[in-house]
């Protein structure tokens, strides 16, 4: 569990998907509890129950395309308004290019 939970946002996601029940009240307390459970315990990375899931997750997150997508979603497209404004800007840019091409064709 310690590999999957590092921040209170991780706990929030696990609680939201009903994987973990939070009876402590605060997500930061749960993340601290989970992170302290494994303190001083050595586990073989390659030989535990979720080793294949962790390996697949690390390989998926390690690709440049997925890192780029995650960075864009977290930093730039984190609200619906930013997505709507981006789509509107692209639409206006396309209309501007079409208008320019039509103007050049009508002059020629």
DSSP letters, 15-29, are HHTTSS---SS-HHH
Please indicate, yes or no, if residue 108 is contained in any of the structural domains. Answer: no
Please indicate, yes or no, if residue 16 is contained in any of the structural domains. Answer: yes
Give the count of domains, the chain. 1
Please indicate, yes or no, if residue 90 is contained in any of the structural domains. Answer: no
Please indicate, yes or no, if residue 68 is contained in any of the structural domains. Answer: no
Instruction: Report whether pLDDT(14) > 80.
Output: yes
Please indicate, yes or no, if residue 42 is contained in any of the structural domains. Answer: yes
Work out the average pLDDT over 28-46. Answer: 81
pLDDT of residue 105: 93
Instruction: Report whether pLDDT(69) > 80.
Output: yes
- Other Cβ atoms less than 10 A from the Cβ of 55: the count is 12
pTM (two decimals): 0.49
Query: Domain span at residue 26?
Result: 1-61
């Amino acid at each position: 569990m310690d590999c999957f939970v590092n921040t209170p946002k991780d706990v929030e996601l696990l609680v939201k998907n009903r994987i973990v029940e939070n009876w402590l009240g605060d997500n930061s307390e749960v993340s601290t509890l989970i992170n302290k459970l494994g303190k001083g315990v050595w586990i073989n990375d390659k030989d535990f129950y979720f080793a294949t899931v962790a390996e697949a997750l690390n390989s998926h997150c390690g690709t440049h395309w997925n890192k780029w997508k995650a960075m864009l979603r977290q930093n730039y497209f984190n609200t619906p308004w930013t997505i709507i404004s981006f789509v509107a800007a692209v639409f206006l840019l396309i209309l501007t290019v079409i208008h320019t091409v039509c103007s050049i064709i009508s002059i020629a």
